[in-house]
Structure 1
Amino acid sequence: MTIVVKRLGRVDYEPVFAQMQAYTAARTAESPDELWIVEHPPVYTLGQAGKPEHILRDVSIPLVKIDRGGQVTYHGPGQVVIYLLLDLSRLKIKVRELVTAIEQAVIDLLADYGVTAERRDGAPGVYVGDAKIAALGLRIRNGCSYHGVSLNVDMDLTPFDAINPCGYPGLKVIQTKDLNIPLTAHEAGERLSDHLLRQLDKQHG
């Protein structure tokens, strides 16, 4: 199983979203599976079933309506985002297994630093105590996935105060910096992609 890892650096959200859609639409049986590691300038993204009332006030951060599942979330500098462009049919991985693999990759990364994290039934993502540290949203088209996972590393968390993160009023958010994990967003992206590749290999195997 060969998965290409691309490091896009800090790039605007909308062009990357368009590239994901284009890549998925143009895929053939030969198209490689890819992980894209990125950071975004400040942006809110609202999923397909997203309710605008979860945006509590205007803080002059752009809002982009997108085609993943889930409600509203925030992306900004100091948060690593990994997009998973995978042919699930070819990998023989079901969507539920992919979600589990992504969550487990985050849980394992945090465990490397002695932090216990967990998933919650019915609320995709990864939590430390009652605070969310990683958000997850996917779109599956023709058996192929895009969108992915965001991990809060070393960022300004205040924009989360202007929304109900993932549609949960009062949901606390946390970042690895608050847990004394000495990683930059770039380093966290490298380690998380390693864990993702390991989990995907396990699911595929």
Structure 2
Amino acid sequence: MKIRELGTVDYLVTWHAMKEFTAHRTEYTPDEIWLLQHSPVYTQGIAGRPEHLLYQNDIPIIQTDRGGQITFHGPGQLITYLLLDLRRLKLNVRELVRKMERAVIDLLQEYHVHAEGRVDAPGVYVSNAKIASLGLKIKNGCCYHGIALNVDMDLTPFSAINPCGYAGMRVTQTKNLGIDDEMEVLGLKMIKKLQLKLAEGSNI
């Protein structure tokens, strides 16, 4: 599995790169994990409803091809994109989502922060406040998109939306939970947690 640390990159550029990678991969192509941050942007999933944008500001909105509703990406948010061959890993989408959630939960547990997933609203929550969003696109048995973990960012833009389609949903971040480790440290830990979960195969 290849790990790529891409820094701060434009959402559209990254999205097109993920689609290109997935379209041209073969059964022999190694899986990849991309760590990065995005410039401020709202992304709307394929089932996204316009009413979940509460008011317009100067942050661009991009209609993307992942599942789910609207969310916000910006500097200080750890993005982990998973470009995986699910057939080779013998995983279905539901299993992968649970493993993604579990990786974030296990990461936060290292800092004695209790987090949990929700069946009705995929993602990871701390005291009912969302700290990580999940989104995937599956094509030809392979996936792309992934996890957005709030680390140390301006959370104000979330007030312009119903995060992931839920009115009044609170959001939080690792900084507000007393976690002082920087993005690079959290990124490396995230990769290790994900690799451990993926290595477990389809037994959750």
Query: What range describes the TM-score normalised by the shorter chain of this pair?
Result: over 0.9
Secondary structure in 1 matching 2:123: strand
Partner of 1:160 in structure 2? Answer: 158
How many residue pairs match? The answer is: 203
| Root-mean-square deviation over aligned CA pairs | 1.0
SS in structure 2 of the partner of residue 124 of structure 1: coil
**Does 2:83 align with 1:85?**
yes
**Which residue of the partner structure matches residue 142 of structure 2?**
144
SS of aligned partner of 1:115: coil
- SS of aligned partner of 1:149: strand
Distance in 2 between the 1:35 and 1:101 partners?
14
Residue 19 of structure 1 is matched in structure 2 by 17
Distance 1:108 1:130 in 2: 17
Relative to structure 1, is the Cα distance of residues 183 and 108 closer, same or farther in structure 2, using a 3 angstrom cutoff? Answer: same
- Residue of structure 2 aligned with 1:130, choices 104, 128, 147: 128
Cα pair 1:78 1:184 within 8 Å, conserved: no
Q: Distance in 2 between matches of 1:97 and 1:133?
A: 20
Residue 97 of structure 1 contacts residue 203 of structure 1 at CA under 8 Å; is this kept in 2? no
Q: Which structure's residues are more often strand, by fraction?
A: 1
**2:193 maps to which residue?**
195
Paired-residue identity, %: 55
Q: Which residue of 41, 56, 59 maps to 1:58?
A: 56
Unaligned 5+ segments in structure 1 are none
Deviation (angstroms), 1:203: 2.3
Structure 2 unaligned spans of 5+: none
- 2:44 counterpart letter in structure 1: L
Shift of 1:204: 5.7
- Most deviating of 177-186 and 143-152: 177-186
Q: Which amino acid aligns with 2:104?
A: V
| Whole-Å separation in 2 of the counterparts to 1:45 and 1:179 | 26
Task: Give the 4+ runs in structure 1 shifted more than 6 A.
Answer: none
Measured in 2, the distance between the counterparts of 1:124 and 1:48 equals 16
Q: CA deviation at 1:93?
A: 1.1
Tell me the residue number matched to 2:184. 186
1:88 & 1:55 partners in 2: Cα distance? Answer: 33
Looking at structure 1, the residues matched to 190 and 90 of structure 2 have their Cα atoms a distance apart, in angstroms, of: 22
User: Which deviations, in whole Å up to 9, do the C-alpha atoms of 1:58-104 show, x marking residues without a partner?
Assistant: 12001110000000000000000000000000111111111011000
The whole-number CA distance in structure 2 between the counterparts of 1:204 and 1:55 is 37
TM-score using structure 2 length: 0.97
Whether contact under 8 Å (1:7, 1:37) holds in the other structure is yes
SS in 2 for 1:172: coil
Separation in 2 of the partners of 1:8 and 1:95?
26
**Whole-Å separation in 2 of the counterparts to 1:170 and 1:34:** 35
User: Equivalent residue for 1:172?
Assistant: 170
